[in-house]
Structure 1
Amino acid sequence: MADGPQDDAALPPPRPVDAALLPPPRPLDAIDQDILKILQADGRASIRSVAERVHVSRANAYARINRLVEDGVIRGFSARVDHERAGHGTSAYITLKIVQNTWRTVREQLRQLPGASHIALVGGDFDVLLLVHTPDNRALRELVLTRLQAIPEVLSTRTLLVFEEEDLEPEA
């Protein structure tokens, strides 16, 4: 299975990059924005196809995509997964209150949780929003009661069970 735009010349794969090493953000023009929409809708789109759809040469499309990768705008290419069909039929948003100034420590521990899909430091009535996908309610209960509440910096949790979800996908 392909990892990203396909054509005769392969792009370098996106890699984790220290944000401090990235160039300063540049404004994206309309062509860059169109390229991003196409790749968000279909990360396997060929460079030829992208170039035709945004009305630029293949070399120009390749250079633009490569720059978006190098600048850290494109962080990777991935598949959109139907979690229920993949055996993770229970999804939940979990809000956490944490000890002040422990975000980095907590984030590292949350990254290790099975089924953790999205982690955000937020402002408001709680500090962290965590999205998880688990096989069932028993696994979710185990994750919350055993794993999350065992993290010393976690003061409290609240679990919001997801009944139905839909990814909003950009139009190609």
Structure 2
Amino acid sequence: MAPEQMAEGPEGGRAETPPRPLDAIDQDILQMLRSDGRASIRSVAERVHVSRANAYARINRLIEDGVILGFGARVNHERAGKGAAAYITLKIVQNSWRTVREQLRALPEVAHIALVSGDFDVLLLVHTPDNRNLRDLVLTRLQSIPEVLSTRTLLVFEEEDVEPEG
């Protein structure tokens, strides 16, 4: 994190500065970039009715402020050879979240990791080539993590990313 994004916290430590409020133009820019991450500065500027310099500055500020984390491709997992998907819940040893998270990040099948409240501690979204690979992921690799106490697998029959209307 850049030094200008940090402020003195309690007891002399560093803390993040509070997020800047986003105005309607920033919201429109975010919606447009979520729909088309490859949109040119010119098309963004035209769509939100600002100059190209203003659009460029706003996008850079959104990146610097950590609002925009990056740009990427939306993938059809089935066409990419990862036709089996599942949500997997994990119960983990208390206070082991950071350790478990690092081990989960190393698994290429994992698309999303969330620490949650409720009957389980962690929710994963995974994509594998088939059910045999899914079984291996759950029974061999996830359950071999010492801090994982139990797992539950929910097969995904169909999925769709919800994109903003553009």
Q: Deviations 1:73-104 (Å, cap 9, x if unpaired)?
A: 00000000000000000000000000000000
Q: Which runs of 5+ in 2 are unaligned?
A: 7-15
Is 1:28 equivalent to 2:7 in the alignment? no
Matched-pair identity in %: 82
Is 1:73 equivalent to 2:67 in the alignment? yes
CA distance in 1, matches of 2:52, 2:17: 25
Where do 1:17-166 residues align within 5 Å? 17=1, 21=6, 23-166=17-160
Q: Which runs of 5+ in 1 are unaligned?
A: 1-16
Query: What's the CA shift for 1:171?
Result: 1.2
CA distance in 2, matches of 1:103, 1:133: 22
Instruction: Looking at secondary structure, tell me which structure has more strand per residue.
Output: 2
Structure 1 outlier segments of 4+, above 3 Å: 20-23
CA distance in 2, matches of 1:113, 1:140: 12
User: Under a length normalisation based on structure 1, what TM-score does the superposition of the two structures give?
Assistant: 0.88
User: Under a length normalisation based on structure 2, what TM-score does the superposition of the two structures give?
Assistant: 0.91
Query: What's the CA shift for 1:134?
Result: 0.2
Partners of 1:23 and 1:71 within 8 A in 2: no
